[in-house]
């Protein structure tokens, strides 16, 4: 029967072998066509979301500019009316 103490004597070797196994498995996963397809689809969705966000932000900016222009115009009209009433 294998004892834990016997295994722990070779701890560094086991860590090295475990790291190598993880690297090999990771390499196989990253090289698979399924993973490449998944990453491509994910990036396409991220780019589409970025484009939509930029469009939304531009709409917000345009609306804010319109609101500002309207308020400036209303303020000018209000000042003109007040100055006309004083005369």
Whether the pLDDT of residue 87 is over 70: the answer is no
Lowest-confidence segment of 17-21, 31-35, 78-82, 83-87 by average pLDDT: 83-87
- Give the Å distances, CA to CA, from 78 to 13, 65, 68: 84, 20, 15
| Contact (CB, 8 A) for 41 and 47 | no
- Average pLDDT (63-87) is 84
């Amino acid at each position: 029967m294998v004892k834990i103490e016997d295994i722990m004597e070779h701890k560094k070797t086991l860590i090295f072998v475990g790291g190598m196994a993880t690297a090999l498995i990771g390499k196989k996963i990253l090289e698979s066509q399924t993973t490449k397809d998944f990453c491509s689809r994910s990036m396409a969705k991220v780019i589409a979301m970025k484009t939509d966000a930029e469009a939304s932000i531009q709409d917000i900016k345009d609306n804010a500019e319109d609101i500002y222009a309207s308020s400036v115009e209303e303020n000018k009209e209000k000042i003109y009316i007040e100055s006309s009433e004083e005369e």
